[in-house]
Amino acid sequence: MSHPSPAPPRTTRRRSASVDLAIAAACVGALLLAIVVTAWLLDESSLRSHAGARLMPPGPDHLFGTDWLGRDLFTRTIMGLRLSLTVGVVTALLSVAVATVLGIAAALLGGWVDAVISWLIDLSIGIPHLVFMVLVAFSVGGGIKGIVIGISLTHWMSLARLIRADVLHLRHSDFVLASRGFGRSEWFIARRHLFGQVLPQALVGFVLMFPHVVLHEAALTFLGFGFSPQTPAIGILLHEGMPHISSGMWWMALFPGLCLLLVVLAFARLGDRLRVLTSSPGQGG
């Protein structure tokens, strides 16, 4: 990102970048808090079916309407979001962990370890990952396990590649060589020089991975390879709601879909802002 004019515009741009980041983080925080608190306040009994309140459009009693069993869709949406977010966090953390460990191992150990990991990366980047993910999820038996394993096994490659390149580059950089010359141990170098570079990468990776994971989780569930139909997951709600759109029951898919979109966009924005800040080394922390 080169800019014709020198220092002053750069500082103001950087300041606005951190304000942007703060806004994005606040939005995500508020959303998460709202979901958790609402889920906690909600009465689980409205998850049960009520024969008298079937297929009601949105109104004061049922903000998002009800489904064909009379279950309150607002409650189901919030519960679904909470579940999706929890599974999303676990899955995104897992894939970032896999990426970080493999990326660092490839760069530091080199040799056949590097060869195998790089080969895996190249191989799996070539395969359309939705297909790969469905295959993995299906082969471990679907359900939560299918989601977590299917997504984390198919989403570590680009981050691992990034981290590998970073560590490789750093390992031969003048300041790491100098550090060794001052008598610093390999452990000191890994901790102070390499980790400081890898951690922001991993953090950005996590925040960017998260919305992606939540979408895939919904997609897997929607396709029938994810959560079981009894679970109030967002993917299930969408799956159930879709057939009713054509018969005029638009609210069944619309509200869960919008909520999912909102959460995903908020996270994607935060990840983007973070990436802008951390991609200028020496200026970020």
Partner 1 sequence: MSLRATDLAYRVPGGHQLFTGLDLRVEAGQVVGLTGESGCGKSTLARILAGHLPPTTGTVLTDGYPVNAPGPRPVQLVQQHPEKAVNPRWTMRSVVAEAHDPDPALCERLGIRAEWYGRRPAELSGGELQRFCLLRALGPRTRYLIADEMTAMFDTLTQAELFAVVRDIVTERSIGLLVISHDIPLLDRLCDEIVAMPEQASAVSP
**Which residues are at the interface with partner 1 (CB under 8 A)?**
173-175, 177-184, 192-193, 196-197, 281-285
* Gap between the Cα atoms of 270 and 202, Å rounded: 14
Residues in the chain, overall count:
285
User: What sign has the CA pseudo-torsion 195, 196, 199, 205?
Assistant: negative
Which of 10, 244 has the CB closer to partner 1? 10
Least distance from partner 1 to the Cβ atom of residue 59, Å: 55
Q: How far is CA 75 from the centre of its chain?
A: 23
Least distance from partner 1 to the Cβ atom of residue 166, Å: 12
Which of 118, 197 has the CB closer to partner 1? 197
Which of 50, 184 has the CB closer to partner 1? 184
Least distance from partner 1 to the Cβ atom of residue 196, Å: 6
Which of 178, 258 has the CB closer to partner 1? 178
Least distance from partner 1 to the Cβ atom of residue 21, Å: 18
Least distance from partner 1 to the Cβ atom of residue 188, Å: 8
Which of 176, 266 has the CB closer to partner 1? 176
Paired tokens of 200? 């922001």
Q: Which long-range contacts (CB under 8 A, 24 or more apart) does 192-196 make?
A: 194/104, 194/167, 194/170
